[in-house]
Amino acid sequence: ETGVTQTPRHLVMGMTNKKSLKCEQHLGHNAMYWYKQSAKKPLELMFVYSLEERVENNSVPSRFSPECPNSSHLFLHLHTLQPEDSALYLCASSHNRDEDNSPLHFGNGTRLTVT
Amino acid sequence: AQSVAQPEDQVNVAEGNPLTVKCTYSVSGNPYLFWYVQYPNRGLQFLLKYITGDNLVKGSYGFEAEFNKSQTSFHLKKPSALVSDSALYFCAVRPRNTGGFKTIFGAGTRLFVKA
């Protein structure tokens, strides 16, 4: 177990569907992240929440909608996606302190396929 | 623009031989430097980080990394490779004094270790 749990592991959805990805961390961290991983590309930071407040939103299309109800849970709501949104979506958490050098702890990801 | 370069898509080494996975970065200031590893169907796992001090940093599973400030490089090394080291390796850089939320990743280098 990584301490960061993502569900589902795999998701296939049509372009008109609405689905949600879930992430839960059991590490007592105060920051949570969504990353998109596509083949042969650097990880793309999508959203960051610190103490349940969104602190980063990297020009992500509105068809992706994050939600952070508490410091242990993070959701990514999906609607009217495009085939190019097919990727591995990774959730991560960290314990941010003034030194800001704490590593990220990742979940195993959700493999999303948009048909 | 800030970036991280991993010039090799793939590195092949024989088991028992030393390995090097290269990383250079273009980030202002003195950023924190990280290496992560990703095994198939898993999220990224933290290997090691450089904060300050000794240019040779030791991490998990016998890996180490050498920081070179003048070349802005942070190459990952291991004296004797194992077949089980075969995985995808990511170099990452975090600028200082940015709240700790912005980690810039390279595109990854796939390591193959042959028996």
* Alpha-carbon gap: B114 to the closest alpha carbon of chain A (Å): 22
For residues B82-110, give the mean pLDDT.
Answer: 90
Q: Does B97 touch chain A (CB under 8 A)?
A: yes
Query: Tell me: the pLDDT tens digits for A82-101?
Result: 999 999 999 999 987 656 78
Distance CA A28, CA A17 (A): 33
Please give the residue of chain B at the shortest CA–CA distance from A40: B107
Residue A42 — pLDDT band, cuts 50, 70, 90? Answer: confident
Residue of A43, A55, A106 lying closest to B101 (CB–CB): A55
Q: Is the pLDDT of residue B30 over 90?
A: no
At B5, list the tokens: 């370069």
Residue A1 — pLDDT band, cuts 50, 70, 90? Answer: low
Q: Does A66 touch chain B (CB under 8 A)?
A: no
